Amino acid sequence: MDWFRDEPGTRAVAPHVLVLMPLGALVAWWAFDEGGYQPVDWQPGAVLALLLAALVVCTPTLRVARRPTRRGLVALGAFALYTAWSYASVGWAGSTGTALEGSHRCALLLAAMVVTCGAAPPPKVLWGAATFVAGVIGLAALVTLRRIDAADAALGLFLDGRLLAGLGYFNADAAFFTTGALLACVAASQRRTP
């Protein structure tokens, strides 16, 4: 599936990589800090993602080099509508503070999607980034296994027989490690993978 189309005569990858690196560093930080669950962690990340999204939208070099295809624009539009609906739901939510925080998180994800969709380098670089993210998640899994192996810390990593460590809550751990496994499977399915 080709989500991006190359414009004739564009070969510059460096600006795209430089925009994606801070976003990748943010995801790596969150990977080792409870998945960025706490507001003190994700709110600065949201500011960074919004700044990067504004940079992608406002910088001609990034905008012109690779444009999203129609499918990419539909995905962005659908997620933007979902984000708008999330903010609208604050009006009728029983807990407006929780709904507003969830809407802000949704806006963070939309900004990250704008950055990755708008500043996407060629597929080879994306493949390398996906492989890197799978490696970071694999490293987090190894760190978690090492922490479980330590006799004094093992009991604190489980609650009712379920793994609590890694990101600090059950659903995040399952999604996080599954994402790493899926990315590793995709990378392994490529012919160029040794």
Provide the residue-wise pLDDT of the chain in tens; the chain has 194 residues. 344 444 454 455 677 778 888 888 888 788 777 777 788 888 898 999 999 999 888 887 666 556 677 888 899 999 999 999 999 999 999 999 999 999 999 999 999 988 888 776 677 777 777 778 788 888 888 887 887 777 666 777 777 777 776 666 677 777 778 888 888 787 777 776 66
Burial 102-112, CB ≥16 within 10 A → b, else e:
bbbbbbbebbb
Contact 32, 143 (CB under 8 A): yes
> Per the structure, how many domains does the chain have?
2
pLDDT at 101: 92
Domain edge (last residue) among 85, 118, 151: 118
pLDDT at 92: 94
pLDDT at 66: 61
Residue 6 covered by a domain: no
Do residues 130 and 74 share a domain? no
Q: Whole-model pTM?
A: 0.72
Q: How many residues would you count in the chain?
A: 194
Domain edge (last residue) among 102, 118, 134: 118
Residue 38 covered by a domain: yes
pLDDT at 48: 92
pLDDT at 2: 40
Residue 139 covered by a domain: yes
| Strand, coil or helix: 182 | helix
pLDDT at 1: 36
Residue 4 covered by a domain: no
Residue 5 covered by a domain: no
